[in-house]
Amino acid sequence: MTPTRVTVQGAKPYDVVIGRNLLGELPGLLGERVRRVLVMHPASLAATGESIREDLLAQGYEAFAVELPDAEEQKTAQVAAFCWQVLGQSDFTRSDAIVSVGGGATTDLAGFVAATWLRGITVVHVPTTLLGMVDAAVGGKTGINTAEGKNLVGAFHPPAGVLCDLAALETLDRWDLVAGMAEVVKTGFIADPRILELVEEHHEELREWRGAQTTAETWAVVAELVERSIVVKARVVGEDLTEQGLREILNYGHTFGHAIELNERYQWRHGAAVAVGMVFVAELARLAGKLSDDVVARHRDILTSLGLPTSYRGDRWEQLLAAMRRDKKSRGDLLRFVVLDDVAKPVRLEGPDPTLLVAAYAEVSKEPPTGRPGVTVALG
């Protein structure tokens, strides 16, 4: 397939390249000044990371690699400090670069390390998961977790480019793909109704993802979903890099979702938690008189059709509320949520009545845990 380029505007515009066999694009994104490159990858992608390092060596770069813990375990101050140590011992200067290879957690960490080393060096992201492609790799948000919450320490540091090689999805576990679909669905609800229609039409093939054995028709659908999601995110972050207004819509479902992740000690995958978070804010909007019953039901129908959870245990309200009060969108004691007036009509809801919050929580804790593999560790 011919690569598609989506340009993210801003002070330093960059391209998100979508296609297959894209490694040849990497030198162009790194730029002419870069001589040293650190490839950061999780342990589960050691072979892929080494392959990219060797390719960079063959193209004349001094290329190093650092292996990271898998998933959210890598997003700690201790791991970031180890990466800084590697950069220092390898004499990385401001004209050198980092290449991240992995999912959303790797993108977050690598971007943060790049943002903080010498107050900012070049980073190029090579996301290998659907979540990484449609969300974490695009937009310049970087961060690590603390004991108090997710992504509370971070910086805005846009990449020099992003390579979304769809071939990486061929080996993706189906629960990884389903988890990433939560962010795709989010984009549909806040900005692009066609995304929701595509998911509704093809939910069975997406839920039963078969990687390399997937039909050409389904691959075409996935490619369109990736491109549409990236186009939405590129438009939003191009207008509001540092989340002063418009960009907050991308956090739809995330305030409650991040609280679940913290409460579960990150044993839920991000997408699973965000799925419940979207149902929570849909119910909150309904209770506040903003959203119709039909659109709330559509949230549950689409997410359930993909195998994503739509409910959470009913005995954790105090812990979840405490976590939400530490959310980045909160201002003082004022809780702020992104909600919908309708599909593709996001608005902010500030300081909702506490009784509405409790009622919305009751709506997402009515159903017992399903026990599907995706609800806890497999989607966690």
What Rg do the C-alpha atoms of the chain give, in angstroms?
20
Residue with tokens 């492609």: 133
Read off the amino acid at residue 278. M
DSSP codes of every residue in 150-213:
EEEEEEE---SEEEEEGGGGGG--HHHHHHHHHHHHHHHHHT-HHHHHHHHHHHHHHHT--GGG
CATH 1.20.1090.10 segments of the chain: 181-364
User: Among residues 271, 270, 269, 293, which one has the least CA distance to residue 282?
Assistant: 293
| Helix, strand, coil fractions of the chain, as percent rounded to 5 | 50, 20, 30
Cβ-based neighbour number of residue 351 at 10 Å: 12
CATH architecture of 4-171: 3-Layer(aba) Sandwich (3.40)
* pLDDT given for residue 163 in this prediction: 96
Fold classification of 181-364 is Dehydroquinate synthase-like, alpha domain (1.20.1090)
The per-residue pLDDT for range 207-238, each reduced to its tens digit, is 999 988 889 999 999 999 999 999 999 999 88
The Cα 333–Cα 352 span in angstroms is 12
Of 71, 43, 41, give the one whose Cα is nearest residue 272. Answer: 71
Question: In the prediction, which pLDDT does 247 show?
Answer: 83
Amino acid at 117: W
What does pTM read for this prediction?
A: 0.90
CA–CA dist 162, 121 (Å, integer) = 15
Is 240's pLDDT higher than 60?
yes
Give 1 or 372, the one with higher predicted confidence: 1
Count of H-run helices and E-run strands, the chain: 13, 11
Looking up tokens 């290879």 gives: 101
Q: Is the pLDDT of residue 369 over 50?
A: no
Q: Please state at what angle helix 270-287 crosses helix 293-306, rounded to 10 degrees.
A: 170
Share the mean pLDDT of the chain. Answer: 91
Q: Where in the chain is the domain with CATH 3.40.50.1970?
A: 4-171
Give the mean model confidence (pLDDT) for residues 157-161. Answer: 95
Cα separation, 380 vs 373, whole angstroms: 9
Strands of the chain, DSSP E: 4-8, 14-19, 36-42, 62-68, 97-102, 122-127, 141-146, 149-156, 161-165, 336-342, 345-350
The dihedral through the CA atoms of 256, 258, 260, 263 has a sign that is negative
pLDDT in tens, 25-64: 999 999 889 999 999 999 999 999 999 999 999 999 999 9
pLDDT in tens, 182-204: 999 999 999 999 999 999 999 99
Q: How does residue 370 score in pLDDT terms, banded at 50, 70 and 90?
A: very low
Nearest alpha carbon to residue 278 among 192, 216, 372, 343: 343
